[in-house]
A and B are shown apart, each in its own frame.
Chain A
Amino acid sequence: MFEVRSRRNKILLQLVATAFVLPYLFPLIVMVSGSLAGHGWKNYADVIQVPGFFRFFLNSAIIAAGVIVLVYGVTMLAAYGFAKLHIRGREVYFWMLLACLTLPEVVLLTPLFTTTQQVGLYDTYWSVILPLAALQVPFAVLLTRNFIKGLPDEMFEAARVDGANSMRGFLYLVIPLTKPIAAAVLIFTLIGAWNNYLMPLVFLQSQEMQTITLVPQFFIGQFSNDQTRILAAAVLTAIPEVIAYLCLQGLFERGLSAGAIK
């Protein structure tokens, strides 16, 4: 975009870029160096030895997996229905779904709190999986429906002429052809579920149910505000996300960008 010819200007541009990028690196440096302050690597050992530390990861993984499976399943079915099948009053249903996009999750707290307690789902994985999936589905459907709409009608008609019912059309056309968009849906659902803080905070009371986003406050209690170990715990909880991103850079950027445009 910017054209710089002279050597001096090239160096200048590089310096400007570096100066703007450094502040983004700074909190990460603070986090890592802070976690090594005092006892050095022993901070990490202390954190890992806390009983139940890996339980947080397991819980987050279970919840994220549950949300992903649920979102993927209902999204694929609905997107296919909205894009290629006949539904009377289709746009009405669709706008009802889209209106959910604006919903701030804090609105769900009281009703879900009362209801989950009544039906015995409080403090179970479902009390977090269901609302998180409900909040992710509208956008996932919007994206996937647009994608499926772009697939040629003739293909589906040809399949029908050859005797395939809509179920077969779904299994043999929609599922394989939507892989690119499914990857995007998967990534933003994963990040949304893995990073969510409010739902586990309110709906998961017992220690052995809690997720990684509740780790900092757990360790504030555990180590009575010993900052170095709290930061060591933060680094350990951040590592899986950073590694996942570094391995799947393009997918993460596409997925989160897709998840961003509403």
Chain B
Amino acid sequence: MTETMARKGDTSKQAAGGRMPRPRRLQAPGLPWILPALILSVGLIYYCILYTVDISTLNWDGASPDPESVGLANYARIGRDPVFWKAVTHTVIFFVVTFSVQTVLGVLFAVLMHSKIKLAIVYKVIVFVPVVLAPAIMAPVFRQMYAADGQFNWVLEHIGLGFLAQPWIGQDSTALAVIMAITIWQWTGLTFVLYHAAMSQIDQSMLEAARIDGAGNIRTLVSIIWPSVRGTTVALAILGAIGALKTFDVPWLVTVAGPNNATQFLGTYIYQMTIQLAHVGYGAALSIILLLLALTMAIILQLVGREKKGLR
């Protein structure tokens, strides 16, 4: 999206130059207009980033007036920090799983709701409501639901899967899965609404032609619907990747990043380091690495998306 915009910007400039030499005076100076936004956003955010870069070279507890400068030692420590690598691994797993499952479910719901089923509006509301609810408010519900004596195990027992019952959030092996399940529960509604909108744009005559040629439901989905919504998929991938790097609320409130760092993410780790353990310098170095990861991710996915579009 951003890149198409940039392109549009270029062409309009060329057109303005080529078509009619419009006197500049007619376009009032715009700098004062964008200044408030620049001061608020760029000012505050870049100030914070530079400040963080500065702190990241210190061995600082956040309170002592005269912190010791340690150069890049904090960054060197990150490379050797097993918890950091754990958090990175969790982020990657989290992104791959939540993105894939949400995409499958989102496309499925979108197709189903386009298929003249009964009560479609009620279903849509149920799937979308989680998007509106704050994770912080839902956290106690999920803590109870996935506890050893919680309702999730109760359901498993009543549908004959009682042997699967276990303390889902209390053990390393399943805690991350719970965090991912909650995230999927929360965001499928958005994925679904976006795909639903994208599918409304598909040319109906194309679908009809495919059917006349004998394509079944599955074939139509794979060969026509799925390629038509690629733009949405790319956008959701970018959003999901950045979202995964920003993950904080759910692992913090449901499992407190535990047990044994089993649900540690970069956001929760930075919070623990900075606020709880007062390793402010190290937390700042982690923040900078996180920021670089997010920027790199956005650029890579933007380029990948552009390439795919170019090929088509």
A interface list, Cβ under 8 A from B: 1-4, 13-14, 16-18, 20-21, 23-28, 30-31, 34, 70, 73-75, 77-78, 80-82, 84-88, 90-91, 93, 96-115, 130-131, 133-135, 137-138, 141-142, 145-146, 149, 157, 160, 165-166, 170, 191, 194-195, 197-198, 202, 212-216, 220, 227, 230-231, 234, 237-238, 241-242, 244-246, 249, 252-253, 256-257, 260-262
Contacts and interface: CB of A to CB of B under 8 A. Distances in A.
A99 B30 contact: no
Interface in B129-145: 129-142, 144-145
Contacts of B24: 86
Closest 7 A/B residue pairs (Cβ): A85-B30, A81-B33, A78-B37, A195-B134, A111-B51, A81-B30, A86-B27
A82 to B, nearest CB: 6
Interface in B243-268: 245-246, 248-249, 253, 266-267
Contacts, number: 309
A87 to B, nearest CB: 4
Contacts of A80: 30, 33
B274 A109 contact: yes
Nearest to B241: A102
A245 B239 contact: no
B128 A103 contact: no
A27 B145 contact: yes
Majority secondary structure of chain A interface residues (helix, strand, loop or mixed): helix
A27 B142 CA distance: 7
Given A21-B127, A96-B42, A106 B267 contact: yes
B92 interface: no
Contacts of B266: 104, 106
A202 B275 contact: yes
A215 B126 CA distance: 24
B140 A165 contact: no
A104 B140 contact: no
Contacts of B28: 85-86, 165-166
A17 B123 contact: yes
B242 A227 contact: no
Contacts of B64: none
Kindly name the residue among A77, A134, A244 whose own CB sees the greatest number of chain B CB atoms within 10 A: A134
Given A21-B126, A231-B144, A1 B220 contact: yes
Contacts of B30: 80-82, 84-87, 90
Interface of B: 1-2, 5-6, 8-9, 12, 24, 26-34, 36-38, 40-42, 44-49, 51-52, 55, 62, 105, 108-115, 117-118, 123, 125-142, 144-145, 151, 155, 185, 188-190, 193-194, 197, 199, 207, 211, 217, 220-221, 225, 235-236, 238-239, 242, 245-246, 248-249, 253, 266-267, 270-271, 274-275, 280, 283-284, 287-288, 290-291, 294-295, 297-298
8 contacts: A13-B112, A30-B151, A80-B33, A96-B46, A107-B52, A110-B51, A110-B62, A252-B132
A80 B131 CA distance: 31
Contacts of A78: 33-34, 36-38
Given A74-B37, A98-B2, A146-B5, 11 more contacts: A21-B126, A31-B138, A86-B28, A100-B41, A102-B295, A104-B266, A110-B55, A131-B44, A256-B131, A256-B193, A261-B235
Contact of B137 (A106, A109, A216): A216
Contacts of B253: 197, 216
A221 B29 CA distance: 56
A232 B238 CA distance: 36
B34 A107 contact: no
B44 A130 contact: yes
A220 to B, nearest CB: 8
Contacts of A16: 112
A66 to B, nearest CB: 12
Contact of B140 (A14, A97, A234, A261): A234
A212 B284 CA distance: 28
B36 to A, nearest CB: 4
B290 to A, nearest CB: 6
Given A137-B37, A261-B1, A241 B287 contact: no
A26 B126 CA distance: 10
Contacts of A216: 136-137, 139-140, 253
